[in-house]
A and B are shown apart, each in its own frame.
Chain A
Amino acid sequence: MTLANETLEREVTDLVISTLNLDVSPEAVDPEAPLYREGLGLDSIDILEIALVVSKRYGFQLRADNEDNVRIFGSLRSLSQHIAVHRVEC
């Protein structure tokens, strides 16, 4: 993993935790663990909240029909990779 990707992953972890007021420290989150259900326990309400902060922070809109949504939100790592590919550099 490159340093840039590692930095982004950490940034996305912080963003998810702060957006959703999760009771967990960033270090305690396994980047490969599922975001849905057992992992961080996210539901569709959370996913929409994250979609909003991602569009605000990284300048692109999440879409369900151009990529497998379940895969994007599979883990913090996959979400970070999706953001790395689609982000709009400011």
Chain B
Amino acid sequence: MIDFPILTHSSDRDIIACCKGRAVTVREFLGEAASLAGRLPERPYLLNDCADRYRFAVVFAAALLRRQISLLPPTLTPETVRQLARSFPGVYCLTDDPHRAIDLPLLLYPEDLSIADVERVPVPHPDQIAAIALTSGSTGAPVPHAKTWGNLARSARAEGERLGITAGRHIVLGTVPAQHMYGFESTVLLPLQNGAALAAARPFYPADVCAAIEQLPDAAVLVTTPFHLRALLTIEGTLPAVDLLVSATAPLAPQLAQAAEARFGAPLLEIYGCTEAGQLATRRSVEGPEWTAFPGISIYRAKDGFRVRGGHVAGEVRLDDVLELTSPQRFVWLGRSGDMINIAGKRTSLAYLNHQIAAIPGVLDAVFVMPDEQAHGSVTRLTAYAVAPGLTQASLMQALRERLDPAFLPRPLHLVACLPRNATGKLPRGALEALSESLREAS
């Protein structure tokens, strides 16, 4: 059995994080994680809500030491939080935001953490469940995907090898939250398992991202999304140099990839994956559309679509995408299957959205529609039609806000007298388009 220590740095004096310009050593990190572990309540599940990436990593390590499972839900709407509390009895939330309002037992990240003496790097058991990532599923209840420590560590090492992460040289800066599978893998586990460092900040505006890159002492790896990359490339003048660009959550247009490589002076690698199976493949987008799977991973066509197994993937996982396989290791992505949608890198299904709106008291019938995407790169939003005689647009929107991630809120939301269902109860797209057209004319 291979051992997977919490981190792979060669010395406790190595730098593991950069927090507001201050370098944090491995000794400090392990000491803080051990201190925090001693202060965690005796509970099985933890929602790690720390926005600061270094603190997120300390909390994750402390939870590992206490054998507590970190939950990674897709969103934190009040309805999702209620479901978490139901599905994971005893769950509590650890946050670094003193103003955080969330309906769970709440613990604030301690400001006065001492640095305990840690003699050796802890080695969690590879079969220990370290995290449970959740997807929205199609029935309204979140679907759990357990990740063992061994799976996570193997995957992060494979990623480090594929991206060429060098111990002691790279600092990973992310525009994505650590709480989502991609951010968790590529901005927290990747540096921990490859002797690299992480930047604590999560810059949002393009100017902030550039400033954060310039403040880093070593070679920066920028972990981002097509959505943020597009924003960064609107900056005029020179962009700061990075060592590597990493993008995931949605495929990047080739021209955007080319522009990003040219302006940042670095190769851009895309990662293909999903919450269910984790990261699976990479490609350098300027070299062509084909993806190459991580070592040990194989993808094959099954009756119900495409499935993946091997490597760090636990069992077999069905993919929500349509692929063209050239071998079990190489493929081209053709599109999302059926009713999957992706808005600015967030994924859900129309079935899930339709289930959520139908569950609102007063809604008699409703449907979400994804309009054809705009060509010029701006984010396309969903449209929804609802039959809800007793509700106003504002009250229905408020009820949706309770249940849905803001990215999936409909824009526009139409209240209508009835939906154009055909004899079999289906809603033909043409009929909906005609309805939409008549609503536009009426307004």
Question: Which residues of A does B touch, CB under 8 Å?
Answer: 20-23, 37-38, 41, 43-45, 47-49, 51-52, 55-56, 61-65, 69
Contact = CB atoms under 8 A, between A and B. Distances in A.
A49 B207 contact: no
Interface string B199-243: 000011111100100000000000000011001001100000000
Contact of B207 (A21, A44, A63): A63
B231 A48 contact: yes
B77 to A, nearest CB: 11
A41 B378 contact: no
A52 B233 CA distance: 10
Interface residues of B, number: 25
Contact of B206 (A37, A41, A45, A51): A51
29 contacts: A20-B411, A21-B381, A22-B411, A23-B411, A23-B412, A37-B406, A41-B406, A43-B406, A43-B409, A44-B204, A45-B343, A45-B379, A45-B407, A48-B227, A48-B228, A48-B231, A51-B206, A51-B231, A52-B234, A55-B206, A56-B234, A61-B206, A61-B207, A62-B207, A63-B207, A63-B211, A64-B203, A64-B204, A65-B208
A43 B203 contact: no
B207 A43 contact: no
Given A38-B398, A48-B205, A63-B205, 8 more contacts: A21-B381, A45-B343, A45-B344, A48-B231, A49-B378, A51-B206, A61-B235, A63-B208
Contacts of A44: 204, 406
A38 B207 CA distance: 28
Contacts of A41: 397, 401, 406, 409, 411
A43 B407 contact: yes
B208 A49 contact: no
A83 to B, nearest CB: 14
Given A21-B411, A22-B411, A55-B234, A37 B401 contact: yes
Interface string B378-389: 110100000000
Contacts of A56: 234
A90 B203 CA distance: 29
Interface string B395-419: 0011001000011010110000000
A44 B211 CA distance: 20
A62 B411 contact: no
